[in-house]
Structure 1
C-alpha cells in the first residue's frame, strides 16, 4: 500500500518546510469545527497524505496511538457484520441503488485570498464558508454556485508557507457551464485572468467552449449551456486504460456511463460518467490518450468526495472490483461521521461519506 500512496503524491514532501513538525502541520486538512480531535480525524482524509500513511503505518496502529482502540474495534465488528451477510452479487446490485452524489472536489492552492477573489469575481462562485486553523497552519475555503447540501463545490486548502504546487500531467481540468462563454472570457481578461483557448466551437462539434487558468494554474473549461442547476459540472482526470476505468466506476462507484467519444484524429477518447444527466449534475470526465498508460499526479489535486448510504458496503464493493481501500470504513475518531477512502485502478483518490452524517456536519 505504501508504494501506491507514494505514487499518488510523489512530490509532496519536497514542497514543504524542512522541519518534520512544521511539515506535518503545514499539510493538515479538515472538514470540521475547531475541536482538536476532529481536526486530527479529518487530517487523515484531506488534501495531503499524513506522515503515518507515507511511512506505511496501518490505520489500526494510527488509531491505537490516538487511544481509539475501542472505537476501531467497534468499527471492525460493524464492517464484518455488514460483509459476512452479503455476497458479491448483492453488494454490486446494492451499489446500483445506493443514493450517491458528488459532494466536493479538493485541491491545494498557494494564495487562498487571490483564488477566492478570482472564483467569485470571474467565475461567479460564492464563498460558502471559510475557516482558519492557525495552530495547525492551514486554511480551508468552500466555494460553489449553491449550498453544499445540494450542489457540487470546490474545497480549497492553503498550507501556511506553501505557495506553489505541482499539478502534474494526470489532472485535466474542471468544467463550468455558463450561458455566454464569450462574455465570461472578456470578464476574465478584464480581471487579469489567463485565457488559453479563445471561445469557439469544440473540435468536431457545435458546443462553444473556452479554456482558462486560475491563479494556481488549474485549468477550467467553460461550456456554453442554458440555465443549469449545477454549473460546476465536470472534473476531468486522465487514465491509462479507459475500458478498465469505466468498468470500475460503473461497478464499484455505481456511476452511469453517459456517453463516450473517440477522437482518432487527435488520438484520445473521452468517457463521461456520473449519477445523472450532464446538464443537471456534476460528472467525471475520464480521458485516455492513445498509448499513455501512466501519469504524474503531482501534489496539487487531492480527491473527490461522494455521498453514500453505507460506507461499509461501499468499501466491500470497491475491494471486489480491485480498488484499494486506504482508510477502512468506520467513524472518524472523536466524531460520528462515517467515511471510507480508496484509490481507483489508476491511483486517483476518492472519499465516500455517509449521507446522513454529512448533513449533520453541515448543521
Structure 2
C-alpha cells in the first residue's frame, strides 16, 4: 500500500476570514489552492449543505510531497449554524508545529482493536506502534509520511464540538476495489465512486468512507492546484457575507 499517501485533514469552519488570517499570519502557512462553488458537492465535500461554499487548501509545503495541514471549508449556510465545526484548541495545537512538518493526526476511537483491524487490515495501513495500556496505536502508509494515531477512549466519540475529514491519495485503479471491499465487509460508504471536476484542480475520482466511529475518510486519485492565495482573497472580498449577516441581524460564526 506504499502508493497511498496522506494528503490533508479537513476542518469545516463558519468564519473563513478569521481562519484564513490565523493560518497565514500566525501559522505562516501558504494558500496552495482555492475554489468557489455555487452549489453542493456531489461527493458531500461541504457536508449536509446545498448552498454556496468554498474550499481553500493551506499548508507549509506543496501538496505533491507534503501533508497539507488544513482545508478551510465554509458556506453561507454553514455560517448560520450555532456552532463552528472547528475548535480553537485544535488550531492552537497546530501553532506548535510551525517549524516542523506535521508528524501525525490523532483520531479518538471507542474500540482500539476493532479500529486497528479496520485501518490496517481493510485500509492497508502499517502498524508502527501499539500501546494497549495507554490505548494508543500509530499507523501509516510509509515511514516518511504523516502518521495516523488512534487513541482509545471510554464511551462514544462525540463529533459535536469539531468535525473533519482525513484524505489520502490512492491509485485510481484501486478505488473501485476499495469500495467493493467495504461493501462486502458491510462497512459504511458515504460516497461511492464519483468523478469530480472542479476549477483549479484536475478531474479526480473519489470514494468517501466512514470508520467505526464515524470519522470520514476520503480516498482520491490525484491532488493538484495553483494560485490559491489570490483566489481566496478575491472570493472573501466579493462574498459580502458581513453585509448579509447585518441585514438578517444574525451573528457571524467565530473561527
Matched, 1:256 2:126: yes
Check conservation: 1:253, 1:318, Cα contact below 8 A: no
Distance 1:249 1:269 in 2: 15
Q: Which residue of 2 aligns with 1:57?
A: none
Deviation at 1:220, TM superposition (A): 3.6
List alignment gaps of at least 5 residues for structure 1. Answer: 1-96, 174-193, 195-211
The within-5 A match list for 1:13-162 is: 97=1, 99-133=3-37, 136-153=51-68, 154-160=70-76, 162=79
Check conservation: 1:250, 1:257, Cα contact below 8 A: yes
Q: Which residue of 2 aligns with 1:314?
A: 178
The within-5 A match list for 1:132-281 is: 132-133=36-37, 136-153=51-68, 154-160=70-76, 162=79, 165=83, 213-214=90-91, 219-220=93-94, 222=96, 231-262=101-132, 268-277=134-143, 280-281=144-145
Distance 1:155 1:333 in 2: 18
Distance 1:324 1:213 in 2: 27
> Which structure ranks higher in relative contact order (CA pairs < 8 Å, sequence separation ≥ 6)?
2
Q: Tell me how many residue pairs correspond in the alignment.
A: 207
Matched, 1:345 2:232: no
Structure with the greater alpha carbon radius of gyration: 1
Q: 1:213 to 1:316 in 2, by over 3 A?
A: closer
Q: When the two structures are superposed, what TM-score results if normalisation uses the length of structure 2?
A: 0.69
Deviation at 1:222, TM superposition (A): 3.2
Deviation at 1:223, TM superposition (A): 6.2
Check conservation: 1:102, 1:305, Cα contact below 8 A: yes
Distance 1:109 1:157 in 2: 6
List alignment gaps of at least 5 residues for structure 2. Answer: 40-50, 227-255
CA deviation profile, 1:172-211 (whole Å, cap 9, x unmatched): x9xxxxxxxxxxxxxxxxxxxx8xxxxxxxxxxxxxxxxx
More helix by share: 1
Q: Which residue of 1 aligns with 2:252?
A: none
Deviation at 1:276, TM superposition (A): 2.1
Q: Which residue of 1 aligns with 2:156?
A: 294
Q: 1:167 to 1:108 in 2, by over 3 A?
A: closer
Distance 1:330 1:98 in 2: 23
Distance 1:346 1:333 in 2: 30
Q: 1:147 to 1:223 in 2, by over 3 A?
A: closer
Q: Which residue of 1 aligns with 2:238?
A: none
Deviation at 1:248, TM superposition (A): 0.9
Q: Which residue of 2 aligns with 1:362?
A: 225
Distance 1:110 1:116 in 2: 11
Which SS does the other structure have where 1:362 is aligned?
A: coil
Q: When the two structures are superposed, what TM-score results if normalisation uses the length of structure 1?
A: 0.50
Q: Please, what is the CA RMSD of the aligned residues?
A: 3.1
Deviation at 1:321, TM superposition (A): 4.3
